[in-house]
Amino acid sequence: MKLKKLIFCICFWVCLSGCGQAIGNNNTKTADISSGELRKEVFALVSSAENSSTDYAEQYAYIEDIGDGRGYTAGIIGFTTGTGDLLEVVERYTELKPENELKKYISALEQVNGTDSHEGLGNAFEKAWVDAAQSAEMIQAQNDILDEQYMNVALRYAKEDGLCPLGQYIYYDALVVHGSGDSEDCFEAIRDAALEKEKAPSDGGDETAFLTAFLDARGPVMQMEIAHSDLSRLNAQRKFLSEKNFNLALPLEWTMYGEPFSLTYDQISKMP
């Protein structure tokens, strides 16, 4: 009886060891990027791609037009006026803090949704965004929309496909750039293309092969836009994949647009 229990325990541990083991120095009990140190790691990784800095806390106040046809790009993950998620941030901010300087721009934001126009916005709007980003309510508003539209969606699909933290991050990064929907260049289309080539781990597939197929499918979609034609963020993900770092164990080293980055436990512990 004891031998049977021992064999069962060993088999159970082998099945879970891919995602369930301790993640570097993180002491993360659940392999989920939605909170704790893994969330900080993923925020820093995405920030290196979006803002060439791992200091994601500084990006809540970021705002500029990067010329990608989406109007203003702003905040921690690059909410845009053209896609409407920036409008949703301002609306959530207004719910949290009814008296604010961004509230008066809601009508203009509704009008420019779906375009690259700055009409009714301009320098005064940019300043109001920067000023608002100093408040806890604006940070919460950005984090709320980030979770609702990107993080939670990424985790839902990642859990359905049986992915470890690396795969969760890869899904989240793709959603940040491509969004969710039914167009040929959205996240779901990329995932569908990967599933046509490889089985998901939840269906008995190999995680490395599946995530490689996902990145292979994402590359051409990235290059459909000049602003995203540099595949550094995908190359960094391929590097972690080649290292079999499924749990995003620290330290991490990668290159983004020719610039080297690293992330250590000491750095993570100092991030908000």
Q: Which residues are catalytic?
A: 50, 68
Q: Decide if 164 contacts 243 (C-beta within 8 A).
A: no
Cα angle 39-42-46, degrees, rounded to a multiple of 5: 140
Q: Cα–Cα distance between 32 and 272 in angstroms, integer?
A: 18
Q: Decide if 250 contacts 268 (C-beta within 8 A).
A: yes
Cα angle 76-80-83, degrees, rounded to a multiple of 5: 135
Residue 239 to residues 215, 250, 252, Cα–Cα distance (Å): 12, 14, 10
Q: 148 CB contacts (<8 Å, ≥6 apart)? A: none
Backbone angles phi, psi at 185, to 5 degrees: -115, 15
Q: Copy the structure tokens of residue 74.
A: 């702003």
Number of H helices, E strands in the chain: 12, 5
Q: Which residue has the tokens 């330290």?
A: 251
Q: Cα–Cα distance between 218 and 223 in angstroms, integer?
A: 9
Count the helix, strand and coil residues of the chain and give each as a percent rounded to the nearest 5: 60, 5, 35
Residues paired with residue 72 on neighbouring β-strands, in sequence order: 65
Strand 252-256 and strand 259-263: pairing? antiparallel
